[in-house]
Structure formats: C-alpha cells, structure tokens
Structure 1
Amino acid sequence: MEQINTLKQEALEQIQQAASLKELNDLRIAFLGKKGSIQALMKEMKNLPKEEKPAFGAMINTLKQEVAEALEQQKSNLEELEMQKQIESEKIDITLPGRQFELGNKHPLITVLEELEDLFIGLGYQVIEGSDIVNDEYCFERANIPKDHPARAMQDSLYIDPEWLLRTHTTALQMKVLEENAPKLPIKVVCPGKVYRKDDDDATHSHQFMQMEGLVIAEKVTLADLKGTLEFMAKKLFGQDRQIRFRPSYFPFTEPSVEVDVSCHICGGKGCPTCKGTGWIEILGAGEVHPNVLKMAGYDPEVCSGFAFGVGIERVAMLKYGIDDIRHFYTNDLRFNKQFKRYE
C-alpha cells in the first residue's frame, strides 16, 4: 500500500510539472508503459498472499486510471497553452492604421485630350482615331505635299519602308475621312493621336508628341468661322478673358494659312517671361483648306470650303498647368503625375 501511494504522489507531481507535450509523453511511457513503474509494481502481486491479491489489483487499477486522467488533463492544459501562444504571436493589432490603397489619376495629357474631345463633341464634331502607321500618299500627297516638296524636309519623317511611315501629323486621318465621305457635306471631325518626327529632345521638343487636328468642310466656311471656333476653344481651356490673334503663315494643305496666338493667361496680355514680353503665346497652326486638297478628295472647291487646325496636346498642357519641360510627360515619374489629381 505504501509503494502504491508513494508512486501515485510521485506520478501526479511530475505530471503537474510537465511543461511540454513531449515531456508529458515521456511521463506516460515512464508510468503506464509496458516497462513502466506501474507495470513493475504489478509484478509484485505474485509475492502476495492469495487473499490480498484482489485488493492490491484493485488499487493498481485505480492508480492507473488516476495517472491516465492526470495525463489527459495536463495534455489538455498544455494544448490550450500552446494555442494561446500561437494566437498571441499571430494576432493583428486592429488599432494600427491599415495599409493605404492609392487610386491612380489620369495623366495630364489624357486630361487635356478628353477636355478637348468633350469641347468639340459639344460643337457637333465627330472624334476619329486611326493607326499610327500611315501611307505616304495620305500623310503627304493628299495633303498637297508631293514627294519633291521642301515641306517634307521640315517633317524629317520616320519611314518604315518607302511607302509607309509613322505619321508626322494626324492629317492622314482627315484625308481618309474626306475621301470616304465625298461629296457628302458637312464634315466636322477632330483627329487626336500620337505623331512622330525625328527631332531633338529638349525642353520644348520631342520625337513623339500628341496632336489633335480639326477639319470642317461645308458651304461658305470662312476664316471668321475658324476664328470663332478657336476663340471658343481658348476661352474654355484658359479662361473667359482670353483673346486670340491670327498671324500669316504657310502650310501646304491650307490657303490662306495662319499661326494662332492666345493672350497670355499669366500676365493677361501685359507681358511677362512666359510670353517673352509680347503678351501672346503661340498655340497652333490653322487655315482654310487648300483647293487642291478638296479636289484630290473628290470635292468641288467652287461649291464648298472649309478650315483645318492642328493643336499640340503637350503645348496646351504646358501652358495650362505651367509645365516647363515637355520631357516630364514621358519620364513615368509618379511624383509628377500625382500633382494633377486636383485637375480631374
């Protein structure tokens, strides 16, 4: 009896002090295994008198049951403790600020392009887009620029082969529109897109830039209609107090041709560094569509007339937002782009 009580006390104390599941399993083997302490105690039964064996066997069974229950209880305690440790190590502190997910914003060129498209759609124009690769005939010859024309040297074009090139202007789209609709009237289209020229890369020039050309063909279209359209555009883009002026110029596909200036939105026309003291800023070229262009497309210049203009999207964006270098538009610097969220 004394051995049983001593073993029981020893077993329960060690089980209670077990600090890990491995240690607990070692105790299970030590006390309940085939070579364990309790099994060794059972072997003493053969040395007892016959009348004491039943009581001794009952006490051994009770001991085994109590040790097994203590092992299970301690196992449950240790598993719960392990679970608490895991929860503590993996818990999320919801009092900390969460991760900020930023929404992107439009590129300033896209903002200006969409503003121009909305403006001209409101005036009844149709937006026409097309491939960046065009045929020489539609890029130049249909625009009254034959192969030996000196204006081709000014374009310094990027040819893929003798007949195909990266468009130097979106005029090629206008020539297609004229041909496909002749002799239908009226025609009112704007043609936005990228254009490419072999040019120096500096603060005001790039080998690629975005352009929007406009074309109107109808009966009795004059420079007065062109001026009214461009003045409306300037006021929408730069403010209601803007004025425009025409200066004589030369473009092969228009006659007469004009350079168009807008009064400086920085100084209000008084003169400042932005406008080089003149009070005016050049924004685009325009003119009355040349009769030869109309004839080649299948129109009679005695019946109809029209105007065309071409505006650089980068130029408008630089003036509108005070950007000093055209290369900023193409460096993919998010710090630059994030400045324009307030304009959307």
Structure 2
Amino acid sequence: MPQLLKVEHLSAVFETSQGVIRAVDGADLELQKGETLGIVGESGCGKSALALSIMRLLPSPPGRIVSGSVFFAGRDLLLLGSEEMRRVRGRDISMIFQEPMTSLNPVLRVGDQIAEVTRLHRQESKRESRDHAVEMLHLVGIPDPEKRVRDYPHQLSGGMRQRIMIAMAMACNPRLLIADEPTTALDVTIQAQILDLIERLKSENEMSVILITHNLGIVADTAQQAVVMYAGWVVEKAPVRELFSSPLHPYTKGLMRSLPRPERDYDRSALLPVIPGGVPDLYLLPPGCRFQDRCGRVMKLCRQREPSLLEVSHGHAVRCWLYHPETQADQPAGAPGRAERGYEAGLNGHHHG
C-alpha cells in the first residue's frame, strides 16, 4: 500500500514559567493508505501533542514545533504557509478532539457548524451546505436529522455530540482522520458504536485513521499498526499482531501485563499488575532513558545515555538499550536479546483479536 503519512524526528516543546516541556521528542512514524495506526501510552506521554503537531494546531504560545518533518502525500506540512495549511485541514486531514462539549460552539446550531466546514472547503451555497449537514447527520446515525440539525450542543447526549464531531470531520471526505480519545467519558455500549462508526466510514471512504487512546484493547481490535509513547518518546512501534505477540520494550510489556484477562475473573481478589512509580517530571528529565526508574532491567548505561529508536526486525522498532548491538555482549544470561519473543511474565497464550 502507498504511504500516506511519514513523520520524521518531530519535536515539539511547551515553554512555561517553570521551564521547557519536551512534549514530543524526535517522534518517527509511518501510516499507509487505508490503514489504522493506534498511538497508546499513559496520560501526558505526548499523544495529543503529537497529533496537534501533525495538524499544526499546537497553541502558540506556549507550544511550538522545533524540528522534524511531517510528510503528507509527499508534501512536508511544516513547510506550508498558514493559508495553504488551512486548506489542508478539514479537506485532506480532519481531527476529532477529546471532549466534544468544549470543541463544539455552544451558541451555534450543530447543523450550522457542520455546514461551515463545507462552505469553507467546497464553496457550497447556504442551502447546499445545510442539505449536506442533514446528510452527514444521517450518515453518522443520528435519528431525525432534519430536526436535529437545528439543535444546540447542550440539547444532545455525549454520544450524539461525539457523532456531530465525526460528521464535521467527515464532511469533506478527508484522506486522514485523527481521532484523539474519541470514546472518552462515553459508556461501553456507546464506545463500541462510535468505534464501529469510525471503522465503517474508514472502509466506505478508503480513509486512513490515527487512533489515539490509552486503551490497548481498542488498538488490538481496530488498528493494523501501533506506536507506544512514553514521556514524549516513541519507545516502540510495530504491526499490531507483532506488538501483542512479541512486545519488546519493558514499558510495553508492563502495559500488556496490566490488561484484564479472562483467567483473572476467577479470582476477584487478584489485583492487576501495575508498573511501579510514575512518569518523570517533564520539566526535569533524567539523563539517559526516561523509563529507568520504573524498569526492572535497568543497566548502568540506561542512566547515562539516551537510547535511539532501533529497528530490530522488519517494521518493529524499539528504544531500549537491551536491544542495541553494543550492549548485547554485556547482558547477563537470560536477558532479552534481539531474538526474544513472547512475554516475560507468563503472558503467553493471551489472545488478542
């Protein structure tokens, strides 16, 4: 499949009174046409900042992109003028933001907000854009769209507001949809409906999707490629099946261990394994690996030098000294090497779809 998006060495910072936050630090990722890429990690790891950097929507000040490239269909978006980038947003790349209640204008009818997108990018008349808005509400499964098009955001449920956001994002049939935690604060049934809707629209429109989430289960079910972020870094990226069958980075393995599993249901008192400690202070990052204080396999080198992102097999890359050639000879017996496969803590046999 042809490549649609390629992000190379992308770095973005927030300059605050307390210091500089390296929100995204040297990120690399690729997305093929028609694929879904899942980006996972704890809150504050840089997922949303990465998405906003791709869209060139980082609030400035305090945020700014300091280096890197974002190639979309062969063009570096970071080199486009402001007006040209505005034409790309909404028409070629659209984004669903985390909280629809704060993303929708509370004093405008939802139909007018959808119509504004098509009038801007398709130069439709007022009547055409309103008809298009009704059509989009029908497409995203909102009942009685002719009536709902005149509603204000506060008159709609959380699930319906999220559908409005999807309708706005899909109004111009974009080639890439970025969905930032699209099911946050929705109940499980509505979550499934929203994810099914995105998947259906992706298939019908031959669209690519970047799905940002903290939920590994969603990534397992919907994505073909996955990126794991930690403290501004991409620490692992791989095809989804390989990531779940053969995670490499200690952080990724910790996330996998914390997944609920059916066998645990037999013992309600059993606690889910957790990753000890917390994310380092982004104002004052330690030298070396940012995961060092939470890692059970930390080495002296980990506290001295930052590891680079190393491709260990086709399409599978990891940012960890355990897999770098210069440390392979120094590892003790039983340490994970380049050929290691499977989980370290009895996770073998845990199946993901």
Larger fraction in helix: 1
TM-score in terms of structure 2 length: 0.21
Which protein, 1 or 2, shows the higher relative CO under an 8 Å CA cutoff with sep ≥ 6? 2
TM-score in terms of structure 1 length: 0.21
